[in-house]
Structure 1
């Protein structure tokens, strides 16, 4: 089968198409004929070599989520899965493929009316947005700032905060045009990437992290909470905790959030509910572009250039 691998760390040109044997599902696994692959920010970080210290080597296949049709089941898996359309989590890699073997516990059946492309646009992002806001203890009436709102996680967080009764939903983004699109999705205030001019917030939902993180701690109201759910901007400065101590009397909270800490059964339940909500039009999926799998280099170039609003999806 055709797949895309990281031939060498660095820029997008380090990705290459390669032939690999089709996987055979093991015990507790299903085999999925892939119809859509989500391109995520973590794929870009792994490709760049930024996460090499975590065990990602050259030859790694990127991609954390796919959608398609089950073609085979492994030992111990109910045959009823055969022929089902599913979304599936491929972990920290293995998704840029034509055929994927995944744990059945990491798969969710797709409802009628939801395309494979929409499934990989919402699948991972929706769960991070849902549980990330819960981790921040977001409550109706509170003000929320979504930092890095133009990606699929941020776009979903904006919608969930608005639907959840936020008193205000501010966003940071790179252009007025993107700001208008985010207003259509529920944002009430649009700020530039620095967040300059915004009022205080009860919750900062941060997809970016990076060097400017301390400034956003400074935009929290008393008892405010900042939760980092991604680090597309890189690591914060080593002394970022100084901002918390300087504002000691405001009782601020800083936290990180990974969906890996949520039980699989809870992730599946929320994901299934969000898929149904998308079919009903209650959650909007935003697809920036759909490209062939062989054009993964072009997809990563767009991500690196900051050109993406929503999600890029690859199709075999």
Structure 2
């Protein structure tokens, strides 16, 4: 093991009881067999801390996940994932991965030799997590730039910082970022309004396209120089980022990186909303809220290709874009949206895709025909002018609860929620399939992402300001 390095865990300790133990002499007494592990949630980026028992092996530390069917944290490390261990009040950063085969058998044997009292709880199917230390940045490593959210707040909290270039851990690749998408989700994380989002300091950036620059120890499945895409959830606003190799998807040759980075989050979201969640069929009528936004444009393009009759809410100035995408524009600022939708469709639409929520969710439900489907997937209504607003946040969740409750009543209208990272974690094979399919459509010219601006990293603050002012049509892209 490398020499542990001291680091403040103030921003990573969420459980106050665990925090008190962590900072007390008691933990030093326990550290012969008990460590505190901090695991980062794959879906949200939020970190949480819990005690685990470990045994040292020649290839790292082994943690057995007893009663794993009742635990959720270990799902985040079934593929290589970064973790932090606190042992004897000193911290070790490492990479956790699930062992199988002879390695797992040897690790269980090693663990039981250390803790024979655990024999009753350890079986042949007990998962074994191996934790190996993350390589320290080389002393001669050149610095790299990344954008840091120093505290929750407005665009002014985005700061350009330098740090030693990171070294990839086992199962990871270091990506030299060519393009990083700027999304409304990044704004929510910056404001602290994203459910389960990371705590400052952190680097935002939900998706990236870049070239494989280096591989961690004993890592295969990628080749340096490959152009790849990844859904990072956070960390993308940087010149370099380390990500698990298992999450990389090759980008076809000749594709514009700025267009390619629109696919891992925006177009996969749109595709899965239509195909995986709403399960639309050709000829059905679909209403899209925020039709001139990045996801809205993707929904209209994919809906047209699927043979759907598309309707999109937008401002009067954006009506031309919606019509250009062969959808019927509806000015949400001019009169009763529900009445106009019902009039145009003869009773309501088959599906509503709502990335706004709040009061709009109530109208979305009313715009459905009997048997229609409403999918809630965004939090736009929780903010005011791009800033967190407690009253609007409360209204957002109240409205969401109301339509979910209404879906239980007789009437046949169904309501579902969607989050891309959640579905990606549950079915990574589907995520990869959908992204590869969308790359094929991009190469064939059947979809055309709208890149609103190509910006250097230092313009991240301005990009967030434009999102707050609703002054963006399409997707802004940071290009380090």
Bin for the TM-score computed over the shorter chain: over 0.9
2:360 paired with 1:218: no
2:459 paired with 1:295: yes
1:290 and 1:240 map into 2 onto residues whose CA distance is: 35
CA positional deviation for 1:240: 4.9
| Paired position in structure 1 for 2:187 | 44
1:20 and 1:175 map into 2 onto residues whose CA distance is: 46
Check the 8 A contact 1:128/1:229 in 2, yes or no: no
Q: Deviations over 1:70-105 (max 9, x none)?
A: 1111234337521111111212x1111001111112
Check the 8 A contact 2:171/2:220 in 1, yes or no: no
| Paired position in structure 2 for 1:133 | 274
Check the 8 A contact 2:221/2:245 in 1, yes or no: no
| Paired position in structure 2 for 1:147 | 289
2:316 and 2:375 map into 1 onto residues whose CA distance is: 24
CA positional deviation for 1:242: 4.4
Query: Which structure: larger Rg?
Result: 2
1:32 and 1:242 map into 2 onto residues whose CA distance is: 43
CA positional deviation for 1:249: 4.2
TM-score (norm 2): 0.62
Name structure 2 gaps, 5 residues minimum.
1-143, 343-347, 383-392
CA positional deviation for 1:267: 0.8
| Paired position in structure 2 for 1:268 | 432
2:315 paired with 1:174: yes
Secondary structure of residue in 2 paired with 1:44: helix
| Paired position in structure 1 for 2:345 | none
Q: 2:262 aligns with which of 107, 121, 132?
A: 121
Check the 8 A contact 2:357/2:399 in 1, yes or no: no
Secondary structure of residue in 1 paired with 2:431: helix
2:320 and 2:197 map into 1 onto residues whose CA distance is: 40
Check the 8 A contact 1:122/1:152 in 2, yes or no: no
1:139 and 1:16 map into 2 onto residues whose CA distance is: 46
2:270 and 2:439 map into 1 onto residues whose CA distance is: 14
CA positional deviation for 1:211: 2.8
1:80 and 1:255 map into 2 onto residues whose CA distance is: 36
CA positional deviation for 1:215: 1.3
Q: 1:59 aligns with which of 185, 198, 201?
A: 201
Kindly report the root-mean-square deviation, in angstroms, between the aligned alpha carbons of the 2 structures. Answer: 1.9
Residue 224 and residue 16 in structure 1: after superposition, are their counterparts in 2 closer, same or farther (change >3 A)?
same
Residue 193 and residue 122 in structure 1: after superposition, are their counterparts in 2 closer, same or farther (change >3 A)?
farther
Q: 2:444 aligns with which of 266, 273, 280?
A: 280
Q: Which has the higher contact order (CA 8 A, sep 6+)?
A: 1
1:268 and 1:82 map into 2 onto residues whose CA distance is: 20
TM-score (norm 1): 0.92
2:265 paired with 1:105: no
Check the 8 A contact 1:65/1:88 in 2, yes or no: yes
Secondary structure of residue in 2 paired with 1:238: helix
